[in-house]
Amino acid sequence: MLCGIDEAGRGCIAGPLVVAGVIINKKIDGLNDSKQLSEKKRETLFEDIKENTQYKIVFCDNEMVDKKGLSYCLGYSIQTIKDYFLKIDNKCKILMDGNSSFGVQGIETMIKADAKVAEVSAASILAKVSRDRYMYSIAEEYSNYSFTKHKGYGTALHVKEIEKFGYSKIHRKSFKIKSLREPTLF
């Protein structure tokens, strides 16, 4: 049994980090790295994945990212998913997309696993769609920020919105944006 793990929102300046783990029970056609799929295709696959897998999704909100740091949150999420799946099958192999286990022992890593391994592709899609849906759900509450467009990533539009309205309570204050820094006097 293989559990694939991937994340969404690592580089965002607003919103949560979302990490998903997936064991596939039945073949799912069309899986790929979520970044290579259209939003419509991700949404369709999201439902197929939920119906044909065992999965665990972990959210770390922006406050946790600010207080504990991104690496801690990634390690915490991976460990939570690992513990969950080892209770199902104590011989379950865990594969994380990328080149770091973030301090979690007993897992493997693979660069571009989200495009090469079905379980990691499925995890990539679950994490991305879950995070996107969350950002859509808060968009009206934070109407000064175009979260339905940029979903919290550091786009030019998002930076302009922060310049105009400041940070909201959903922003990651520990993530420094170069253009918003005070000028350094020499």
pLDDT of residue 181: 60
pLDDT of residue 128: 98
pLDDT at 184 over 80: no
pLDDT of residue 185: 47
Q: Residue 110 in 3-state DSSP?
A: strand
pLDDT at 55 over 80: yes
pLDDT at 120 over 80: yes
In angstroms, rounded to a whole number, what is the distance separating the alpha carbons of residues 35 and 59?
A: 19
Phi, psi at 33, each rounded to 5°:
-55, 130
CB 168 within 8 Å of CB 60 = no
pLDDT of residue 183: 46
CATH number of 2-138: 3.30.420.10
pLDDT at 178 over 90: no
pLDDT at 186 over 70: no
Mean pLDDT of 157-178: 92
Sheet harboring 2-8: ordered strands across? Answer: 53-60, 17-24, 2-8, 93-97, 108-110
In angstroms, rounded to a whole number, what is the distance separating the alpha carbons of residues 82 and 140?
A: 35
pLDDT at 94 over 50: yes
| AA letter at 175 | F
The whole model's pTM is what? 0.93
Residue 73 CA: distances (Å) to CA of 67, 85, 91, 107, 118: 10, 18, 25, 16, 24
Q: Residue 167 in 3-state DSSP?
A: coil
% of residues, the chain, pLDDT over 90: 94
Q: Residue 49 in 3-state DSSP?
A: helix
Evaluated on CA atoms 160, 165, 169, 175, the torsion sign reads positive
Average pLDDT over the chain, rounded to whole? 94
| Confidence band of 175 (pLDDT split at 50, 70, 90) | confident
In angstroms, rounded to a whole number, what is the distance separating the alpha carbons of residues 21 and 57?
A: 6
